[in-house]
Amino acid sequence: MPGTNRLLLPLIRSWERLQLQRALNPNGPWAAIASIETADPNELLYEDAGLVPGTKYYYRMRGARPTTGATTPWSNAAWGIPIDPPPLIPFNEWADSFGLAGNNAAEEADPAGDGIANLLKYAFNMDPTVSYQGDDRILRPDGGQSGLPAIVVRDDEGRSRVELSFVARRNAQDLSYRVQGSSNLLDWQNVATLPTIRNIDDQWRIVTVQDSVAAGEEPRRFLRVLVELVE
């Protein structure tokens, strides 16, 4: 089964695009694999798919401004080795494994009656047959491995910033996770900061995203994880 390397990219607004190249040797030959618009906040994590597991691949990047033809020098080469991806467990198979059927197996269903829909429990490593109450509903920041996203306030060089952590499936081909921020719970925008990722095991990881807006810049600030099934 093909493997995937995931590249965290710097968000450089002064350049219009980031150009990526890949090679099997640090000295080349290099092949272009992507040209990414830096204005797009969804392109911070680039997935290079269809690779041979166990093979070392080298990468380099540079900034480009097509409107003027200007480019930066190529970066130093970095490398990654893809591994066999963990098996994908589709939502329907997951629901069936817990004995859910009929209306109780729907994405929006809440068979446990705790107000948490099946889709969220699928996305955040929760049991759809358990009624979560109190602190058990939220991901513990000290090593928790399941639960709804947790929010804390961190000091960032003297300025407070909201930080959100959540559990995510590592092989989530049928899931989309997007961290969004709002000041009024009506208008939501994707949060354009690099995530910190810590793997739990071959199925799950913890993703932490710090808000791009510092405390005080807006009177109120809210964060959420928008979870959607994709085909």
CATH number for position 218: 2.60.40.10
Could you give the dihedral angle defined by the CA atoms of residues 98, 173, 78 and 83, in that order, rounded to the nearest 10 degrees?
50
- Write the CA distances from 9 to 6, 138, 194, integer angstroms: 10, 29, 8
Amino acid at 198: R
Flag whether 86 is in a domain.
no
Q: Give per-residue pLDDT as tens, 124-151.
A: 999 999 999 999 999 997 778 999 999 9
- Write the CA distances from 31 to 24, 27, 46, integer angstroms: 10, 12, 16
Q: Same structural domain for residues 63 and 128?
A: no
Task: Indicate the pLDDT class of residue 159, thresholds 50, 70 and 90.
Answer: confident
Flag whether 168 is in a domain.
yes
Q: Same structural domain for residues 145 and 220?
A: yes
User: What domain range includes position 56?
Assistant: 3-80
Neighbours of 107 (CB within 10 A): 15
Smallest Cα–Cα separation from 20: which of 46, 55, 39? 46
pLDDT at residue number 202: 78
Does an H or E element contain 119, and which?
helix 118-123
Residue 26 has pLDDT above 90, yes or no: yes
Flag whether 85 is in a domain.
no
d(CA 133, CA 131): 6
Q: Same structural domain for residues 164 and 105?
A: yes
Q: Give per-residue pLDDT as tens, 77-112.
A: 999 998 776 777 899 999 999 999 999 999 999 999
pLDDT at residue number 9: 74
Q: What total number of domains does the chain contain?
A: 2
